[in-house]
């Protein structure tokens, strides 16, 4: 399978968790645009979930994240 050029690495702070992973942006879109258009949940692939003290909780190939719990999202 070909590598997807639309994937963007992000760091998300949601509640007491820090999530590192990838979101799929439309070509030319910004992370801000993605979040404005996101539904109640959005997909994060190749996800790692960490607590705020730096301990890795788990990793998953796919994770649905509740938009309502997102405090910060930034490109990694």
Residues 11-24 have pLDDT tens digits of 999 999 999 999 99
How many CB atoms neighbour CB 70 within 10 A? 16
Sheet holding 56-66, edge to edge: 56-66, 41-51, 17-24, 7-14, 70-75
Structure-block tokens of residue 72: 């910060």
User: What CATH number belongs to 7-75?
Assistant: 2.30.30.100
On whether the pTM is more than 0.75, the answer is: yes
Spatial separation of the C-alpha atoms in residues 15 and 27, rounded to whole Å = 29
Task: Indicate the domain borders of the chain.
Answer: 7-75
Residues 25-69 have pLDDT tens digits of 988 889 999 999 999 999 999 999 999 999 999 999 999 999 999
């Amino acid at each position: 399978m070909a590598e997807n050029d639309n994937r963007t690495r992000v760091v998300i702070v949601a509640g007491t968790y820090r999530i590192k992973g990838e979101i799929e942006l439309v070509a030319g879109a910004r992370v801000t645009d993605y979040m404005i258009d996101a539904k109640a949940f959005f997909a994060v692939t190749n996800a790692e979930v960490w607590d705020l003290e730096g301990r890795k909780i788990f990793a998953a190939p796919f994770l649905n994240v509740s938009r309502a719990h997102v405090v910060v999202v930034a490109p990694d």
